[in-house]
Amino acid sequence: MTTGRAVILGASSGLGAHVARRLAEEGWSVTGTGRRPRTDTDLPDEVRYLRSDLTDDEHLRELGAHLRKVDPDLVVHSVVTYGGDMATPRSVEDLGAMFRTNAIAPFVLIRDYLAGLPAARACSCVIVNSDSIYHANDTSAEYAATKAALRVLTAGLASACRGRRSSVSTLALGPLADPRKLAELTAIAERRRIPAEEVARIFLARLNPSLVITELIDLEACLRSVLHVVSLGPTANGMVIKLDGGSSGSLV
Ligand SMILES: NC(=O)c1ccc[n+]([C@@H]2O[C@H](COP(=O)([O-])OP(=O)(O)OC[C@H]3O[C@@H](n4cnc5c(N)ncnc54)[C@H](OP(=O)(O)O)[C@@H]3O)[C@@H](O)[C@H]2O)c1
């Protein structure tokens, strides 16, 4: 299949916005979700938009009903919270909300959606994850822990898909060339009067000494990876695509 119906969770910014926009350009019928109003997104008119907060029980139920109504061929989970200000220690409630947003709510949503699908119906679910799970430190550990939980829950979803037409796979990413990061690096480059590429190289070297990439990961490479998963159908079940510049090894 080259086109179909797609639901992109977390489509109001960053990677999710790119995937939603590009799929629509490729002829897919796309619904994107996010918390902010549609007017605060750059999504084109072709992408339908649903405001939905995964920390809200009612919204989660509505999103589940919406998934069943759309009956998508592709679901991409690109929702994330990085947890806000790192300087203030997070409370139990804040950490609970991070785990719920990044791992628990999408897990329940996709688990229940797939459980209601006939075994012969195909749906490719791509769960976006992060190389942060391999090199957590004092500032990233809490975020990384939510992504590690998501990774394990994703393995459970894939296991439940065995013998069915649907697939659940992981897109494990290193630092992305998202608009926010590009703007920050460009501002630093202008202040220091050095090329933006040089700033990116310094940023990547400091972020993770194991990274072998010297450029941020292109959002278009992520889109192509998603389409590759779709093209593989049920063969992609359990698959992990790592686009992280070789920063990690065996823990997938
Ligand atoms: N950016 C990177 O360098 C990088 C590196 C490795 C992996 N990743 C992974 O790539 C994925 C996308 O990251 P990104 O940086 O592109 O994300 P982003 O720009 O921060 O976008 C996050 C999306 O999640 C939505 N969201 C946040 N909290 C939500 C909630 N409670 N309920 C519903 N939606 C919520 C946001 O909606 P609103 O903004 O409208 O609230 C937005 O659409 C994530 O899985 C991330 O872990 C990113």
- How many whole angstroms separate alpha carbon 229 and alpha carbon 232? 5
Compute the distance from residue 14 Cα to the ligand 1 centre, in Å. Answer: 7
Compute the distance from residue 219 Cα to the ligand 1 centre, in Å. Answer: 13
pLDDT band at 87 (very low <50, low <70, confident <90, very high): confident
Q: What is the mean pLDDT of residues 76-104?
A: 93
Same domain flag for 153 and 197: no
Instruction: Evaluate if residue 251 carries a pLDDT over 70.
Output: no
Handedness of CA 168, 64, 17, 25 (dihedral sign): positive
Backbone angles phi, psi at 41, to 5 degrees: -110, 165
- How many whole angstroms separate alpha carbon 158 and alpha carbon 145? 20
Residue 251 lies in a domain: no
Instruction: Evaluate if residue 124 carries a pLDDT over 60.
Output: yes
Output the ligand 1 site: residues, CB below 6 A: 10-16, 34-36, 52-55, 78-81, 101, 128, 130, 173-176, 178
Reported as a single tens digit per residue, the pLDDT across 154-207 is 999 999 999 999 999 999 999 999 999 999 999 999 999 999 999 999 999 888
Which residue range is the domain that position 206 belongs to? 177-216
Same domain flag for 181 and 85: no
Give the count of domains, the chain: 2
Nearest to 14 by CA among 34, 29, 39, 30: 34
Tell me the CATH number at 108. 3.40.50.720
Reported as a single tens digit per residue, the pLDDT across 34-63 is 999 999 999 999 999 999 999 999 999 999
Compute the distance from residue 96 Cα to the ligand 1 centre, in Å. Answer: 17
Query: Closest residue (by CA) to atom 37 of ligand 1?
Result: 34
Same domain flag for 29 and 66: yes
- How many whole angstroms separate alpha carbon 245 and alpha carbon 169? 19
Tokens of 158: 């894939």
pLDDT of residue 56: 98
